Structure 1
Amino acid sequence: MTVEVRVTEDLAACLALRRTVFIEEQGVPEADEVDDLDGEAVHLLAFVDGVPMGSARLLRSGETGKIGRVCVLASARGSGLGVALMEKALAVLAADPALRRAKLGAQTHALGFYERLGFVAEGPEYLDAGIPHRDMVRPLR
């Protein structure tokens, strides 16, 4: 199995993956999933043997790099693809000297996954698209 994660301009592929995971699998309303931030984001695609299986988007706000819309198709979960996707996201953000920390909104069932990558939960639990989340942060350096 060959895993590759790269920055992409292929927004259609990212949106297709997000539709499968968030809208179809998790029941997130399309109006909550698709927003007008995609145009300013850096998008990542994660491939298994050349087939897109995961994506994420990166946004910048001051000294914070926001990692969002992280998704991996069910058939690729547990394969290490999510870790590779997050490592690439962190590397892209860390390459920007103006950014000091990474932040994300984690679905509460995935807190352990992000903790293993060095993220720490902060603030209270909240609902996003009807799904419990917590904000998580970690330094980039």
Structure 2
Amino acid sequence: MRTVDELLQAFAIRSAVFMAEQVCPYHEEFDGNDLAGCHLVASVENEPVATLRLRWFASFGKVERVCILPAARGKHLERVLLAHAFELASRKGFRLMTGQIQARLWPMWQKTIHCTLRDNRPSFAFSDFEYLEIDIPIPSHPKSISPLSDPYLLIRPEGSWDATGILEESVERSEERRAAA
């Protein structure tokens, strides 16, 4: 997600699902972590219909706020979003993702992705739902990013590591200016 418009799309979907459908209070849904997270949005015919948020910690990533508008459910959009999320995590070098899922959705999660319930952790509750913790192993990526990666790769926009970035293009401008001086 790179624009305010894309962030607003994620917020609109979450508002419709969590606030309207599940009656989650505003301050619980928008918990202060949105500007620190990475948001993915899935669209059908140019309409945003599903979203999730990712946050990154020292040795793992966390999948949060996965939701799909009611009219778009049953189309396996959660699989598409999660596949993109796990590709992103793998490329960043993460080998583990975690999630806190509504307990009632555990059967869907275990059919959708390879994940396990976190051992010896009781369920817990917030916003009127019971939650479970899951672990999601992430395979290593052949092109994972490291501190030794190309310096231009490290300054490219999030998720666009294989495309030339705007700052690389500035090198040519700087060379032209030096040549003209």
Structure-2-length-normalised TM-score: 0.71
Gaps of 5+ in 1: 1-6
Match of 2:42, as an amino acid? A
**RMSD of aligned alpha carbons:** 1.1
- C-alpha separation between the residues in 2 aligned to 1:29 and 1:91? 32
> Shift of residue 37 of structure 1?
1.1
User: In the alignment, what sits opposite 2:95?
Assistant: 100
User: Which whole-Å CA distance do the structure 2 matches of 1:124 and 1:14 have between them?
Assistant: 30
> Which residue in 2 is equivalent to 1:3?
none
Aligned to 1:133: 131
Distance 2:81 2:2 in 1: 13
Q: How many residues align?
A: 134
Does structure 1 residue 65 correspond to structure 2 residue 61?
yes
CA distance in 1, matches of 2:95, 2:29: 27
C-alpha separation in 2, matches of 1:120 and 1:114: 9
Identity %: 25
Is the 1:63–1:101 contact (alpha carbons within 8 Å) kept by the matching residues of 2?
A: yes
Q: Give 4+ residue runs of structure 1 displaced > 2 Å after superposition.
A: none
Amino acid at match of 1:102: M
In the alignment, which residue of structure 2 is the partner of 1:41? 37
Contact map agreement 1:8 1:45 (CA 8 A) in 2? no
CA shift, 1:127, in A, is: 0.6
* Structure 1 residue 8 displacement after superposition: 4.7
Equivalent in the alignment of 2:18: 22
| Matched AA of 2:128 | G
Question: Cα gap change, 1:27/1:13 in structure 2, threshold over 3 Å: closer, same or farther?
Answer: same
Partner of 2:176: none
Which consecutive residues of structure 2, in runs of 5 or more, have no partner in the other structure? Answer: 140-181
How does 1:73-88 map onto structure 2 within 5 Å? 73-88=69-84
| Secondary structure in structure 2 of the residue aligned to 1:27 | coil
Greater strand fraction, Structure 1 or Structure 2: 1
User: Whose radius of gyration is greater, 1 or 2?
Assistant: 2
Cα deviations by residue, 1:24-60 (Å, 9 ceiling, x for unpaired): 0001111100022111111100111221000001100
Contact 1:28 1:129 in 2 (8 A): yes
